[in-house]
């Protein structure tokens, strides 16, 4: 796995963790921010052929 793929997957995992935390805390604004970030990261992954598994969103 190259550095780009590893970094992208790590960012996705961190964003999913942050999303779960925001949901648990009931922070609706943070949930929306994290969902937007996750959408952007997934789009970037798709554009570069990076497989992303099932997630929290």
Q: Positive or negative, the Cα torsion across 43, 44, 50, 55?
A: negative
| Residue 44 · residue 8 · CB < 8 Å | yes
Tell which residue, 47, 56, 55, has the closest CA to residue 4. 47
Locate 42 and state its tokens.
């997934």
pLDDT tens column, 1-57: 899 999 999 999 999 999 999 999 999 999 999 999 999 999 999 999 999 986 656
Please tell me the predicted confidence (pLDDT) of residue 55: 63
Q: What is the pTM of this model?
A: 0.88
């Amino acid at each position: 796995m190259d550095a780009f793929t590893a970094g992208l997957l790590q960012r996705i995992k961190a964003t999913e963790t942050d999303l779960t935390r925001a949901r648990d805390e009931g922070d609706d604004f943070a949930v929306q921010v994290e969902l937007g970030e996750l959408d952007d990261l997934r789009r970037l992954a798709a554009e570069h052929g990076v497989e992303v598994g099932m997630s929290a969103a």
